[in-house]
């Protein structure tokens, strides 16, 4: 849909008075970086079943990673190749700039592509992890390679030869306690504005901050061309793409 600049201007007027802002981002924010808005870990896989005849949620699960790491790594490589040459877009840049404008600006992202940090954001809660952060499942070895082409499959730790995996939340695994703690702490401190960008908000930990903000009469905004779990809850619904909308929003904020 076409960008509604009048509605963006209304959001900008409300946002000017905010001190603490939370951005909640999903695969849609990386669409302008060339990444597909597929489902799967971080929203980067489309197919229902693998060629092995199992659902992708099973292939990309913690159980299969432990039992058949070569199978899980086969599909992790597909996710990594989708992320490999992606660069941050204007939407990522606006969120980085918001860290200087507001007293506090945090980003809660479901994406594993690492683009928020690559753009320069510091206050990032990458709740599903980052595909380029590798670690050994037995010792303290870690690595952050530029790509996975040089890895043997399935990769083993160069120190102890145990299994290596990316620091992402696979299906069936718990969310990271430390990151959930940061999110809980910042939600307790409260936000004047919560903006949901490019996510269907199907997970409770993604939709709940929006619901909480709405109940407290904070500014709530959704930027998403499609419908989501929070579309009928937010105060402002901007049915347009992330990069175009956030660029316009930042321009109108600067005019105030």
Q: What is the DSSP letter of 231?
A: T
Taking residue 184's Cβ as centre, other Cβ atoms within 10 Å add up to: 11
Alpha carbons 191 and 220: distance in angstroms, whole number: 10
Give the Å distances, CA to CA, from 179 to 20, 95, 163, 176: 19, 19, 24, 6
User: Quick one: tokens of 141?
Assistant: 């070895």
Q: How far is residue 104 CA from its own chain's centroid? A: 19
Residue with tokens 């996510």: 199
Residue with tokens 């709405």: 214
Alpha carbons 219 and 202: distance in angstroms, whole number: 20
Catalytic residue among 116, 128, 150, 161: 128
User: Quick one: tokens of 22?
Assistant: 């939370």
128 classed as catalytic: yes
Alpha carbons 1 and 23: distance in angstroms, whole number: 22
Alpha carbons 239 and 97: distance in angstroms, whole number: 23
Terminal alpha carbon distance of the chain: 26
Alpha carbons 195 and 10: distance in angstroms, whole number: 14
Residue with tokens 């946002």: 15
Q: Which residues are catalytic?
A: 128
């Amino acid at each position: 849909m076409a960008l509604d600049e009048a509605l963006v201007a209304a959001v900008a007027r409300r946002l000017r008075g905010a001190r603490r802002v939370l951005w909640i981002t999903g695969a849609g924010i990386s669409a302008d970086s060339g990444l597909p808005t597929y489902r799967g870990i971080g929203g980067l896989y489309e197919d229902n079943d693998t060629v092995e005849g199992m659902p992708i949620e099973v292939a990309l699960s913690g159980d299969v990673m432990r039992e058949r790491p070569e199978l899980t790594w086969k599909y992790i490589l597909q996710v990594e190749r989708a992320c490999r040459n992606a660069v941050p877009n204007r939407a990522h840049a606006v969120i980085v700039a918001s860290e200087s404008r507001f007293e506090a600006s945090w980003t809660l992202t479901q994406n594993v592509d690492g683009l928020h940090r690559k753009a320069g954001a510091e206050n990032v809660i990458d709740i599903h992890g980052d595909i380029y952060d590798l670690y050994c499942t037995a010792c303290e070895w870690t690595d952050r390679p530029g790509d996975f082409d040089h890895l043997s499959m399935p990769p083993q730790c160069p120190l102890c030869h145990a299994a290596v995996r990316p620091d992402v939340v696979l299906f069936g695994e718990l969310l990271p306690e430390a990151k959930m703690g940061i999110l809980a702490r910042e939600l307790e401190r409260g936000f004047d504005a919560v903006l949901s960008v490019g996510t269907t908000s199907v997970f409770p930990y993604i939709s709940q901050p929006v619901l909480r903000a709405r109940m407290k009469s904070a500014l709530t905004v959704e930027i998403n061309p499609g419908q989501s779990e929070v579309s009928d809850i937010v105060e402002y619904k901007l049915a347009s793409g992330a990069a175009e909308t956030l660029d316009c929003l930042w321009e109108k904020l600067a005019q105030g």
